[in-house]
Structure 1
Amino acid sequence: MDNYRLSEQDRATLQYRVTTKLREVILRGEFEDGERLVQEEWAEKLGVSRMPIREALKQLEVEGLVRIEPRRGAIVTPISVEDIEEIYQLRALLEGEAVEKSLPNLSKEHIEDLENICEQMKDLEVNEHSVAEFMRLNENFHKILYEGCTWRRIHGLIETLWKGIPPYTPSLLTNHLDESHQEHRLMLEYVKQNESEKLKEVVQKHILRTRDNLIKYVVKSKKQES
């Protein structure tokens, strides 16, 4: 419970590490819903100034894990298993539909971009730096897949669902990065083969597998803290 202090090596990626640490603490259930996250206390626990804590809270507010209130500061609103189920089930439905409609409109350049992303993912070694890069590549890969969908409203709905925990799940599920990469390779192959139904199916399975693993992570973390 008290071993939060970051090492000197961690401080090389200070902002990322502070945000990741606070995200993990919230998802582990160390805060009650509605409890204050006091900047001064966590700055001391992590051995940092208040500035990276303040910046981390801004990011966590975007993710829906805290809300910033006047005179009260950061109030924790931890994501629940039900929230995860809702977000990822909707993502599977919408992104599956979007990639199926997108495929006929993907260009040679789109396919080359997907290929390049897969190659970059393959070359990453799992560490704090590579996980941050994997998150960026993962989000770009998914966006390219459904970029060709001509349904305007579905893009807005998907973007809303991505404004939260989804972009950051690789930082929590590092043991599953290889599996995720293999699924991305399979998506790329179906794009090249122009197999829209198979592409839709693997995208949905990929999202739902992530949902299941994230739920296991949250449940296990809360049990360890109880």
Structure 2
Amino acid sequence: MENFKLTEQDRATLQYKVTNKLRELILKGEFRMGERLMQEEWAQKLGVSRMPLREALRQLEVEGLVKIEPRRGAVVTPISTEDIEEIYQLRALLEGQAVVKSLPYLGDEEIRELENLYNAMIKLKADENDVEVFMKLNAEFHRILRESCPWRRIQGFIETLWKGIPPYTPSLLSNHLADSHEEHRLMLEYVKQKDEVRLRRITEKHILRTKENLVEMMNKK
């Protein structure tokens, strides 16, 4: 396995960077199902202390990529491309419906919030620090789009699907931020126009494109 050691300059946001690196390696199939991630070994490989590594493993457990077991430590439980297909297909279906049901309730205040988030996102660069900010802005943008949907069950299903990989996808696909910017611009435009057909269509396209890019990344060895 290659040398993954982080440079001194990289260590400004250690936990974030360690989490990203391990997440990427797990999704690309660098570990076997059930393989242990030894803290001391990986702290040495990445050139960090064990503290950010422990925090990274806790985050990966929340995402379902590792399981922290008594006496064994962190054990890899990788998500497959089939899992990604399922998560993102369901997200496209449910969020496409949710934004349509939410649209009549999105007023001037919500549109201003969406505009502010969009403008903040397009100012960001594709480096690691800005991608971390983008992830938070992106999640908030999608939350506002769907939060006024009166169907509580669909909201619950979507929240479940967002737990794990989806919020962190931008950190894996930072070279596709330009595509996301354009899709967000169109979402905002269709909200302003109250065009539910095109809003549903671009929301579904946005999610399914992300799925395809993520599967492509996972299949590259």
TM-score, normalised via structure 2 length: 0.98
Name the residue aligned to 2:190: 190
- Distance between the aligned counterparts of 1:122 and 1:47, measured in 2? 33
Deviations 1:130-182 (A, max 9, x none): 10011111100000000110011111111110001111111111111011110
Task: Give 1:49 deviation, angstroms.
Answer: 1.0
Report the alpha carbon displacement of residue 67 of structure 1 after superposing the two structures with TM.
Answer: 0.8
Ranges in structure 2 where 5+ consecutive residues have no aligned partner: none
Partner of 1:168: 168
Displacement of 1:18: 0.7
Partner of 1:85: 85
The aligned amino acid for 1:163 is K
Letter in 1 for 2:2: D
2:49 matched to which residue of 1? 49
Question: Aligned equivalents of 2:209 and 2:75: distance in 1?
Answer: 30
Counterpart of 2:68 in 1: which secondary structure? strand
Distance 2:207 2:2 in 1: 34
Mapping for residues 64-213 of structure 1, pairs under 5 Å: 64-213=64-213
1:197 deviates by: 1.4
CA distance in 2, matches of 1:16, 1:72: 24
Root-mean-square deviation (Å): 0.8
Helix, strand or coil at the partner of 1:68: strand
Alignment: residue pair count = 221
Q: What are the superposed Cα offsets for residues 1-31 of structure 1, whole Å, 9 maximum, x if unpaired?
A: 2311110111011111111111111112111
Deviations 1:64-120 (A, max 9, x none): 100111111111011101000000000001100100000001121100000001100
Q: Which moved more, 1:13-22 or 1:186-195?
A: 13-22
Q: Please list every run of at least 4 consecutive aligned residues from structure 1 whose deviation after the TM superposition is greater than 6 angstroms.
A: none
Secondary structure, aligned partner of 1:204: helix
Tell me which amino acid in the other structure corresponds to 1:49: S
Separation in structure 2 between the aligned mates of residue 188 and residue 216 of structure 1, nearest angstrom: 28
Q: Could you tell me which residue of structure 2 aligns to residue 21 of structure 1?
A: 21
CA distance in 1, matches of 2:204, 2:27: 24
d(CA) in 1 for partners of 2:124 and 2:4?
27
Amino acid at match of 2:135: M
SS of the residue 2:74 aligns to: strand
Output the CA distance in 1 between the equivalents of 2:27 and 2:90: 21
2 CA distance for matches of 1:84 and 1:25? 16
Separation in 1 of the partners of 2:27 and 2:81? 10
TM-score, structure 1 length as denominator? 0.96
- C-alpha distance in structure 2 between counterparts of 1:39 and 1:19, whole Å: 13
Q: Secondary structure at the match of 2:67?
A: strand
| Equivalent pair of 1:88/1:211 in contact (CA under 8 Å) | yes
Give the Cα–Cα distance (whole angstroms) in 2 for the partners of residues 33 and 217 of structure 1. 19
SS in 2 for 1:181: helix
